Homo-oligomer: A and B are copies of this chain.
């Protein structure tokens, strides 16, 4: 589908490459919000309330990231796909396997691993976007700073 418009100064080919990179990131950001809530509801053990409450601001953060990513796609003339089917279709990373209730430790371990690939893919996206559009790259850079800090929070429980 040819773009009807894109941002001033970018050509259509570049825009389409950026859109494709960002759509992949959007799907993971949307999944992350779901997966973090999944942990929020299913953690158990003596640190329940502390970990339960630590997760909610991070859910807000990744929901805001998804919104920013999707609106950047739209700004570039693309059409972000935000349905759950898109998450499944775009999922090139490993999800969270933990079904049912588990200790805070188990969930934090699983999430730290999930964040490993989440951040690695975001950093790969930054490298590609740097060649294409500094504004789009800036957006993902800000997301990575937040994600890495939250990964530290989680890791600090496991040290």
List residues of chain A with CB under 8 Å of any chain B CB.
1, 4-5, 7-9, 30-31, 34-35, 37-38, 41-52, 54, 66-67, 70-75, 79-85, 87-88, 95-96, 99-101, 104-105, 115-117, 119-120, 123, 126, 134-135, 138-139, 141-142, 144-145, 148-149, 151-153, 155-157, 159
Contacts and interface: CB of A to CB of B under 8 A. Distances in A.
A14 B142 CA distance: 20
Contacts of A80: 38, 41-42
A84 to B, nearest CB: 4
A70 B41 CA distance: 7
Chain multiplicity (copies): 12
A131 to B, nearest CB: 14
A46 B157 contact: yes
A119 B8 contact: yes
B120 A9 contact: yes
Nearest to A100: B79
B8 A120 contact: yes
B134 A126 contact: yes
B46 A104 contact: yes
